[in-house]
Amino acid sequence: MLLDNKQVAIVGGGPGGLTLAKLLQLKGCHVKVYERDLDKNARVQGAPLDLHDESGLAALTKAGLLDAFKNNFLPGADREKIMNEQAEVFYSDHEIKPGSNFGHAHFRPEIDRGTLRKILLNSLEPGTVMWNSHFIGMKPRNTGWQLEFKDGNIVEADVVIAADGAHSKIRPYITDSKAFYSGITMLDGTIENARQNVPVIYAMLNGGKIMAFGNEKNILMGQKGNGEIGFYLSFKADPDWVVKSGLAFWDRTQVFNWFKKEYAGWSSVWDALLNHTILPFIPRPIYCIPLDQTWNALPNLTMLGDAAHVMPPFAGEGVNMAMLDALELSQTVTSDKFSSLQEAISYYEIHMRKRAAVMAKESLDNGERMHSKEALTTMLGFFNSY
């Protein structure tokens, strides 16, 4: 096997990196995951993840973790309501969609990010994840790499795999290609104890998801398994909006006043989101890979997930592409049909780039539709088509 007697370093302990570590360990590979979080109890940010049968769930099945997923997913969290800015419901599948329908082509079961991470962590060999490992740089060493971390720790690896997200510090070692701004920015908020703090919105959500469209802006939200609600204010903005807005994102009054101005005409029912969010609000400018990106494969370095192909979240493919990357990469670098690691990595990267470009284009197009004047009509047509 191409990875016999080689030490693999995966930088980044998100779903893609941890899935790859598990799949490689099942093949007998020596793997370490270097994660910047202090420990396994670090708070995992972000909305729940919906996994798809042909990608995320396929990777979990290959890893032998599908039953663990089924025991921990959020039944009903994929149910959807489409609303306008006045919180009037134009579409709901709450009464017709089953809580569990594994194997159905359009079933997208949801799971908390933290829960998925625990499932993956618990499946790994003890000592696989090196916590509090903040990567700062690396340099060639013999036929591999020497990696340096913020705490001064230096390690060597024969093969390095970047799973360190959209702002990857390893990607520049592979390509000069940079992601571009999509034109859309999201303001990320989380509400604790939502049943008590925002009872009206909690009831509206009813354990599922809401997409509200109006005036070329969105409010997107979903129920988390721990009683929290995660939401995004999504809108078109200049690339430097985060700075030029002048907003102090830890100042609730400032952000609330901005919201009332920019979301003018929206029902006051949404105000509760701003009044009960855990501070600070998190601004997230949305970036996307160049759809024609390419590079020459290296013999001992590659990447997956957002490090390789960050894309807008408007097709629900980010985590699924990362986990599919992990599945395909694990298969190619442990296959006996390639004469070298470089050939195996090249094969993986060519196919990864092709499918990622398709999904990125779909995500960009969906983002435009969702922030257009006809967004509500367009999205109703999409959901009613099912």
- 325 in a known ligand binding site: no
Q: How does DSSP classify residue 361? A: H
Whether omega before 280 lies within 30 degrees of 0, making that bond cis, reads yes
Closest to 265 (Cα-Cα) out of 325, 216, 210: 216
**CA geometry: angle 186, 42, 210, nearest 5 deg:** 35
Distance from the first to the final alpha carbon of the chain: 45
- 50 in a known ligand binding site: yes
- 39 in a known ligand binding site: no
Dihedral angle computed from the Cα positions of residues 219, 190, 285 and 326, in that order, rounded to the nearest 10 degrees:
-110
Residue 242 carries which side chain, given as an amino acid letter?
V
Distance of CA 356 to the CA centre of its chain: 14
- 79 in a known ligand binding site: no
Distance of CA 87 to the CA centre of its chain: 27
**What counts of helices (H) and strands (E) characterise the chain?**
13, 17
| Separation between Cα atoms, residue 162 and residue 227, nearest integer Å | 33
What lies within 8 Å, CB to CB, of 126 at 6+ separation is none
Placement of tokens 């003018």 in the chain: 264
Closest to 30 (Cα-Cα) out of 3, 48, 51, 67: 3
Annotated binding residues for FAD: 50, 113, 306
Annotated binding residues: 43, 50, 113, 306
Annotated binding residues for NADPH: 43
